[in-house]
Amino acid sequence: MSEPADAANETSLASTGRGRPAGATRKGLETRLRIIRGAREALEEGGIEALTTRRIAASAGVKLATLHYYFDSKESLLIAVLEDLIAEMDAAYRQDVSLPSAPEDRVEALIRASWRYIQRTRGKQIAQTELTLYALRTKGSEWLAARQYNAYIDFYGHLVFEDDADEDLRRIGRAVARQMLIGIDGIILQSYALQDLSASNDDIEAHIIAMRGYLRRLLAERDRPR
């Protein structure tokens, strides 16, 4: 879950096509990416309510008209931003994270790593949640929210059981991943709102115990199917 820097480029450049004249020169692609990253910065800074094209252009170091040269509309830019976030997460998975060998221990390590990450990237997490909500209510963009979640589920799921595990195990990995993600999203909101570190730490411990138990239960069910 560490900052995967710019490994996301490749993926987010290919993106929805909305990104304008296919005639994409080297420099053009860089500018396009600068605008996306500028939008992310501006979003983290001031929230979606204050996220205007002017602010984005300034944050990216380009003129307003340049922004509109690369994106037909503000909406298509926001979609590209969400895609960039997904690509970044995808890249983070690819560069892999070394983890304990027992699945239950991996689950625990993953939750702890996520919790540390959440604590030091408050603005980023809020921004991402805002964008997800934006996608959820923007007609025709709901699929983006689903893609974002599936990327996270793949990410967590693959870290619970390696890619070469059998189908049953991968299915279990995804179920646990979904549940881990639920807890993490819930803790993000609650920890930022309550600002009670000791309570949040208790919540993380409870979540870890619950996830270890869930994984154990699913594995036991597999060995002794109904």
**Applying CB under 8 A, which residues contact its own copies?**
46-49, 126, 129-130, 132-134, 136-137, 142, 145-146, 148-150, 175, 178-179, 181-187, 189-190, 192-195, 199, 202-203, 206-207, 209-210, 213-214, 217
- Binding status of residue 55 toward DNA by CB under 7 A: yes
| CB neighbourhood size of 200 (10 A) | 19
200, two tokens: 């949040």
Rounded to a whole number of angstroms, the minimum distance from the CB of residue 73 to its own copies is: 13
Q: What is residue 97's three-state secondary structure?
A: coil
In angstroms, the CA 67 to CA 54 distance is 9
| One character per residue 23-52, x = contact with DNA (rule: CB under 7 A) | xxx-xx--x-------------------xx
Q: What is the separation, in whole angstroms, between the first and last Cα of the chain?
A: 37
Q: How many residues form the binding site for DNA (CB under 7 A)? A: 24
Structure-token match 């239960």, residue found: 217
161, two tokens: 């059981």
Task: With contacts defined by CB under 7 A, name the span among 73-81, 104-112, 147-155, 200-208 that binds DNA.
Answer: 73-81
Length of the chain in terms of residues written: 226
Residue closer to DNA (CB basis): 75 or 104: 75
